[in-house]
């Protein structure tokens, strides 16, 4: 705070009312009021005038201040008799209690003759402290079954200032589920409760983050904030749910025991034991089906257990439930249709997606000639296919598998039309069935000529004998 001008000093300073002078060893009581945090050197009072002393004698009489139970916050200018601030005064460090009145007591002592004046300096509070929450983060666990109107106590804020500068009110960040109710204690302190005013749904919002703000009554006001984290606790209010009511899956006959047919995965929006699921067949699933397939109660995995014979049964029907482990368990249901595929009865297919039927003989190595796809409608080994190029070891071309079912036919060696001008490429696709089935496709690739050979004579030189005097044009 800057040095106060005369009108402001007059407003802040109240000079005391009684002055009892006793000569020899006299006692006088004076009272003053100043705001805290005044700058060093700020004027407080003119003691010489207030105490009826001659300022010119203060040095000679060794005027000094003797503080009672406190530091030397003030000093006397002996040439003028002014009482001034020696060190900034923090009211909150002097008076730690929340009482409104805060005094510094000191004695003004003069020698020759000795006189003692008792000074009481009231330190007035200014709004130099913001409200502070004792807990910056408050965590609350509230079950989603809690009815609206339920109240929850929150940690209040404290303000080192007093009176109007202390905590005046609280505000809460916007929420459609919560508001606050402010209470006033017998000592004037403000307390706040969090009030639930809506129905919570953990599945819609599991965590609510709010900001509580405490505002004091100073001018201008100061504020402090704390975070409120509300964790919504689950109740078993959601039944397990399958992604679809009916699942369809194919399985090959004679599949080995342990073959995974499919894995069911029901979901439960609850958490904890309310979301832990157990899978089981219902009474609508035939005993024969249960002898052929096993169902893992924990994972929902369906595996082959018995022998699957296409000629005996072409399909199986399973009715399955998923039940949670809540106190009052809830369940969901689905149906699984398993269709049996016959043995290897589909030929693999090879398809040429893109092809160059002619390339020049100077085509660079790595040039793409064709894109080929292969597939087999069977499953398991019956549907696993391999593509090969007939006589590949003698050809300047190679097959490169780019991804499952996709191949590239590439130039792998230099081409020379003068050696071979056309290639008949046979692509063969074979599955791994027993017995295997195969199919093939043929690509005709013409090699185009480029001018890469100079003309040549049969022999490097010729000798010709000509008779003189021949007629022009004669051979």
The residue among 234, 192, 197 whose CA lies nearest residue 213 is 192
- Could you give the angle at the alpha carbon of 116 between the alpha carbons of 111 and 119, nearest 5°? 135
- Could you give the angle at the alpha carbon of 54 between the alpha carbons of 50 and 59, nearest 5°? 110
165-179, 241-255, 368-382, 400-414: range with lowest mean pLDDT: 368-382
β-strands 438-448, 358-360 pairing: parallel
Q: How does pLDDT run across 158-173, given as a tens digit for each residue?
A: 988 888 888 999 999 9
Q: How does pLDDT run across 383-411, given as a tens digit for each residue?
A: 889 999 988 888 999 999 999 889 999 99
Question: Please, which pLDDT band fits residue 13 given cuts at 50, 70 and 90?
Answer: very low
Question: Please, which pLDDT band fits residue 475 given cuts at 50, 70 and 90?
Answer: low
- Write the CA distances from 141 to 151, 207, 234, 314, integer angstroms: 13, 10, 10, 54
Q: What is the pTM of this model?
A: 0.54
- What tokens were used for 450? 């480029």
Q: How does pLDDT run across 271-280, given as a tens digit for each residue?
A: 999 999 999 9
The answer for 37, left when phi > 0, alpha when psi is -120 to 50, beta otherwise, is left
Alpha-carbon span 425 to 439, nearest angstrom? 14
As assigned by CATH, the class of the 246-341 domain is mainly beta
Question: Please, which pLDDT band fits residue 11 given cuts at 50, 70 and 90?
Answer: very low
Consecutive H or E run containing 92: helix 91-94
Domain with CATH 2.60.40.60 in the chain: 6-124, 132-233, 246-341, 349-448
* 431 DSSP β-pair partners: 385
Q: How does pLDDT run across 119-149, given as a tens digit for each residue?
A: 888 888 888 889 999 899 999 999 999 999 9
Cis peptide before 220 (omega within 30 of 0): yes
Coil, strand or helix at 342: coil
Residues 228, 212 contacting (CB under 8 angstroms): yes
Tell me which architecture the domain covering 6-124 has in CATH.
Sandwich (2.60)
Q: How does pLDDT run across 436-445, given as a tens digit for each residue?
A: 999 999 999 9
β-strands 167-172, 132-133 pairing: unpaired
Burial per residue of 421-443, b for 16 or more beta-carbon CB atoms within 10 angstroms, e otherwise: eebebebebbbbbeeebebebeb
Alpha-carbon span 342 to 63, nearest angstrom? 118
Alpha-carbon span 341 to 177, nearest angstrom? 56
- What tokens were used for 226? 């704390």
- Write the CA distances from 372 to 148, 285, 351, 354, 363, integer angstroms: 67, 45, 6, 7, 20
Coil, strand or helix at 56: helix
CATH topology of domain 349-448: Immunoglobulin-like (2.60.40)
The residue among 372, 371, 369 whose CA lies nearest residue 349 is 372
CATH superfamily of 132-233: Cadherins (2.60.40.60)
Cis peptide before 113 (omega within 30 of 0): yes
């Amino acid at each position: 705070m800057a040095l106060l001008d005369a009108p402001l000093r007059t407003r802040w300073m109240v000079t005391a009312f009684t002055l009892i002078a006793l000569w020899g060893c006299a006692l006088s009581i004076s009272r003053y009021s100043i705001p805290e945090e005044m700058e060093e050197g700020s004027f407080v009072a003119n003691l010489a005038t207030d105490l009826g002393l001659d300022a010119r004698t203060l040095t000679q009489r060794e005027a000094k201040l003797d503080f009672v139970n406190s530091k030397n916050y003030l000093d006397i200018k002996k040439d003028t008799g002014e009482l001034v601030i020696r060190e900034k005064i923090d009211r909150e460090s002097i008076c730690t209690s929340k009482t409104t009145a805060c005094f510094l007591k000191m004695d003004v002592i003069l020698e020759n003759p000795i006189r003692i004046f008792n000074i009481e300096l009231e330190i007035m509070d200014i709004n130099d402290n913001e409200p502070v929450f004792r807990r910056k983060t408050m965590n609350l666990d509230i079950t989603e079954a809690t009815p609206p109107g339920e109240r929850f106590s929150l940690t209040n804020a404290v303000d080192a200032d007093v009176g109007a500068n202390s905590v005046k009110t609280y505000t809460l960040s916007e929420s459609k589920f919560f508001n606050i109710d402010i209470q006033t204690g017998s000592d004037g302190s403000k307390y706040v409760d969090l009030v639930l005013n809506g129905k919570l749904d953990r599945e819609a919002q599991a965590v609510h983050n709010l900001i509580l703000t405490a505002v004091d009554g100073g001018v201008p006001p100061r504020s402090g904030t704390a975070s409120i984290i509300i964790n919504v606790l689950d109740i078993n209010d959601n039944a397990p749910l399958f992604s679809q009511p009916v699942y369809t899956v194919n399985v090959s006959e004679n599949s080995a025991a342990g073959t995974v047919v499919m894995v069911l995965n029901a979901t439960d929006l609850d958490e904890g034991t309310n979301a832990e699921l157990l899978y089981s067949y219902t009474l609508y699933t035939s005993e024969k089906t249960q002898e052929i397939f096993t169902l893992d109660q924990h994972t929902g995995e369906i595996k082959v257990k018995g022998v699957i014979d296409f000629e005996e049964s072409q399909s199986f029907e399973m009715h399955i439930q998923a039940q949670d482990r809540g106190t009052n368990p809830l369940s969901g249901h689905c149906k699984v249709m398993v269709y049996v595929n016959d043995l290897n009865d589909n030929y693999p297919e090879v398809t040429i997606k893109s092809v160059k039927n002619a390339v020049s003989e100077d085509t660079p190595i790595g040039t793409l000639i064709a894109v080929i796809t292969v597939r087999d409608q069977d499953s398991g080994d019956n549907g696993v296919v391999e593509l090969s190029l007939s006589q590949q070891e003698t050809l300047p071309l190679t097959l490169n598998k780019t991804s499952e079912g996709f191949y590239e036919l590439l130039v792998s060696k230099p081409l020379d039309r003068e050696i071979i001008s056309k290639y008949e490429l046979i692509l063969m696709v074979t599955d791994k069935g027993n017995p295997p089935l195969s199919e093939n496709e043929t690509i005709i690739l013409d090699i185009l000529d480029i001018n890469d050979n100079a003309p040549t004579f049969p022999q490097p030189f010729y000798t010709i004998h000509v008779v003189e005097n021949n007629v022009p044009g004669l051979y």
